[in-house]
Copies of this chain bind each other. A is one copy, B any other.
Amino acid sequence: MSGSVYGNSFIVSTWGESHGEGIGVVIDGCPAGLPISEDVIQVYLDRRKPGRTEYATPRKEDDRLQILSGVFEGRTTGTPISMVIYNENHRPYDYSEISKYYRPGHADYTYDQKYGFRDYRGGGRSSGRETGGRVAAGAVAATILKELGITVYAYTKSIGPISIDYQKCQKEYTYQSPVNMPDLEASAKAEAYILKQREEHNSVGGIIECIVSGMPAGIGQPVFDKLDAALTKAVMSIGAVKGVEIGDGFAVATKTGYENNDSFFCDSENRITKLSNHAGGILGGISDGTEIILRAAVKPTASIARPQRTVNKNNENIEIEIQGRHDPIIVPRAVVVVESMVAITLVDYLFQGMTSRMDRIKEFYKR
């Protein structure tokens, strides 16, 4: 619980600051024999790159990932996989201004309270850049899931007041849309909305939705480590996320039991499924074999160019105007981070799930 280590069987340990030497991740517990390459992981990293559209932060990063250990002749060896992305871009930008006061909506104040001082350059460890390590690990996790027939797919569901229309959605649109919406009409409207807010030196929030397909039934844990609880923590740990829900989520509060219960049904191929999926694929903390559905609320970017009140390190009440150009929205870049955290968590649970039954353990060790 020291913050930067995650997981029990598939253990992910990230490190790095926004303007330090680089960022990286060590994965311990990845099984041996998984085909993996820097190129496959790079595809995931490129999805969280800034600068895809005109409104995004202009920081030019190549973010070239290097694998330093744990892979031999193209396959994982079962020992720790260390991956690093060097910061190409740590130019002598002047952060002395930021060092003197606490930016609203940022972790400057709380880091100072916890640690006594802070690496103020670009937010240090609390920068969104930290998620690079998560995504590199997420790419490895997604590769494992793919081998098991499981896919994790996230997209932007809404930005400010603009929501997607499921009737108009296609998965491939997600990667064409600069805001990662699977509905291109909504995407265009959302872009216009973002630009308008940016002109007003403001920023916007939104909602990310994530769907897991191909999940076997019976994965999860009762009580404290319910699968939904773990997924929720995983996603809530992403910087700007303020709320997470599973299945119908907050909507259940105004529903009745009759409306909310999902009836089980045995189909013509003798497979048990459900007639609806209000539960979002998890019952009693354990997967039921249907789609897992999760949504996360992402707050608007805290860095805005408008004047704001705050306090400086001498405890004086001041007004500040944050310099530099900043993304007016976090949502699109966070989509692949949500996918990554979900994938990492599922791998951990699938691994733990192998020891639930004595008969299957016996069979495993007989061979």
Q: Which of A41-49, A57-65, A176-184, A201-209 lies at the interface?
A: A201-209
**Chain B nearest CB, measured from A154 CB (Å):** 15
Q: Bound complex: CA of A161 vs CA of B256, how far in Å?
A: 11
Whether, in the assembled complex, A17 has its beta carbon less than 8 Å from a beta carbon of chain B, the answer is yes
Q: Are A357's CB and B116's CB within 8 A?
A: yes
Q: A79-B125, A246-B243 given as contacts; is B356 within 8 A of A115 (CB)? A: yes
Q: Bound complex: CA of A223 vs CA of B68, how far in Å?
A: 18
CB-contact partner of A365 in B6, B148, B197, under 8 A: B148
**Chain B nearest CB, measured from A40 CB (Å):** 15
CB-contact partner of A219 in B75, B79, B114, under 8 A: B114
Q: A109-B288, A264-B311 given as contacts; is B3 within 8 A of A224 (CB)? A: yes
How many A residues touch B, CB cutoff 8 Å?
Answer: 168
Q: Are B308's CB and A261's CB within 8 A?
A: yes
Interface 1/0 per residue, A72-83 and B, CB below 8 Å = 100111111110
**Chain B nearest CB, measured from A272 CB (Å):** 5
Interface 1/0 per residue, A1-34 and B, CB below 8 Å = 1111110111111111100111110101101111
Whether, in the assembled complex, A56 has its beta carbon less than 8 Å from a beta carbon of chain B, the answer is no
Q: A77-B125, A254-B205 given as contacts; is B9 within 8 A of A26 (CB)? A: no
CB-contact partner of A218 in B110, B222, B279, under 8 A: B110
Which residues of chain A in 134-149 are interfacial with respect to chain B, using CB atoms and an 8 Å cutoff? Answer: 144, 147-148
Q: Are B15's CB and A258's CB within 8 A?
A: no
Whether, in the assembled complex, A192 has its beta carbon less than 8 Å from a beta carbon of chain B, the answer is no
Interface 1/0 per residue, A193-237 and B, CB below 8 Å = 000010001111111000000001111111111101110111011
Q: Bound complex: CA of A190 vs CA of B125, how far in Å?
A: 46
Contacts of A104 in B (CB 8 A): 261-264
Q: A11-B5, A364-B354 given as contacts; is B300 within 8 A of A256 (CB)? A: yes
Q: A114-B220, A223-B125, A355-B31 given as contacts; is B362 within 8 A of A107 (CB)? A: no
Assembly stoichiometry (copies): 4
Contacts of A23 in B (CB 8 A): 69
Contacts of A299 in B (CB 8 A): 252, 255, 257, 260
Which residues of chain A in 248-274 are interfacial with respect to chain B, using CB atoms and an 8 Å cutoff? Answer: 248-266, 270, 272
Whether, in the assembled complex, A130 has its beta carbon less than 8 Å from a beta carbon of chain B, the answer is yes
Q: Are A285's CB and B237's CB within 8 A?
A: yes
Listed by A's residue number, 24 A-B pairs whose Cβ atoms lie within 8 Å are A3-B225, A13-B26, A17-B69, A31-B361, A33-B115, A33-B358, A68-B84, A78-B356, A107-B222, A110-B288, A114-B357, A115-B357, A144-B358, A160-B254, A204-B257, A205-B253, A205-B256, A236-B246, A242-B248, A243-B243, A255-B300, A259-B300, A260-B300, A364-B364
